[in-house]
Amino acid sequence: MKKLFTLIAVATLAFAAQAATLTVADGTEYNGHYPFYGLYYDTQGTTSQVIYPAYMLNDLVGKEITKLEFYTTAPIGVTGGSLEYALDIVEESEFATATAFELSGNAKIGHCVPVNGETMFVIDLEEPFVYEGGNLLLQTVVEVVGGYRSVYFYGEATGLYGAFYQYQGWSGVNAYTEAFLPKCTFTFEEGTTPVDPPVDPVTVGAPVFQGYTIDGITGYGVGITPTTEGSEIMYRVLIWDPVTEEWVLRTDWTLYEGTEGEIWFENNGEKVRIEAYAFIGESRSQDVAYEFTVATALDELMSGKTVAGVRYFNMAGQEMQQAEGLTIVVTTYTDGTTSAVKVVK
């Protein structure tokens, strides 16, 4: 009997050694609402949802997720209570409105409790979740209320509205979205059968922006160029509201189809932010942003800065002796700044 026990113990250790981890959204930003909103841990039904886009999770395809770990900025303080968690797959990669996603019949549901005094919130899945690709939704709901000292969770601010929460306040149900993803370490088992066909990781370079003016008077255009062959680009436009001091969405995510920069802005002094990312299938680049004030962008062209040098390039990126046709003019100033504009000669 002793020998049999020893063999079983060794076999168990060998299986456990197959576990691996993947950490995503490893940033230094922090937020107090995700993966759950501690301030309303004493209110039953308080809900948080987070969507991890598929491109972040290629290493998990075909694997069994067994544990999720989230990182807090201070020790957790809890008194009783519990959360219901759920993992599911959704088509969308972000929240378009402040509305929770409905769970499908394939959602994996369980229960967990934040541990008092820990600087990490751990969800040990009651049953493994087999990830077969797609955008992964994590939901937490307060099922048994308790006392909780609100702490913040580390993560990264993103161009996607990847997080949602709602709670019952004194004035009714409050619901919000936020461009934030909490840092998460997924523990998974390597020994599961891969999905057929497997998803191969694809490295997609972030797109680059080009601002230009045709005559320096009528407006300012922005072009977006891919850096990885075969990639496409999604972009959206936000306008700064000086009253609320927030970016306001003007144009939601749209497939970029311009070849000469058809995102055009009239010379009206608005402060603009364009966010974009490139993608191939489910693989995508990091989000990039381009901010400018239309009047400032034009004024800079005519501000009388001391010019150190001017270079001319055609649309294929080849340098020319002088501007001819549609030309990219790169100006270097003595203060070290540069500007690149498109002009028609």
Q: Which residues belong to CATH 2.60.120 in the chain?
A: 19-189
- What pLDDT is attached to residue 48? 93
The number of angstroms, rounded, from the C-alpha of 122 to the middle of its chain's C-alpha atoms is: 22
- DSSP per position, 156-201: EE-SS--EEEEEEETTEEEEEEESEEE-EEEEEETTSPPPSS----
| Spatial contact of 19 and 60, defined as CB atoms under 8 Å apart | no
pTM: 0.54
CB 140 within 8 A of CB 83: yes
261 against 82, higher pLDDT:
82
Of 129, 165, 149, 146, nearest in space to 46 by CA: 165
Q: pLDDT tens-digit profile of 232-243?
A: 899 988 888 888
CATH class of residue range 19-189: mainly beta
Helix/strand number for the chain, H first, E second? 2, 27
Task: State pLDDT tens for residues 164-195.
Answer: 998 887 778 888 898 889 999 999 987 555 44
Cα distance between residue 209 and residue 289, in whole Å: 8
State yes or no: pLDDT of 16 exceeds 50. no
d(CA 299, CA 282): 41
Average pLDDT, the chain: 78
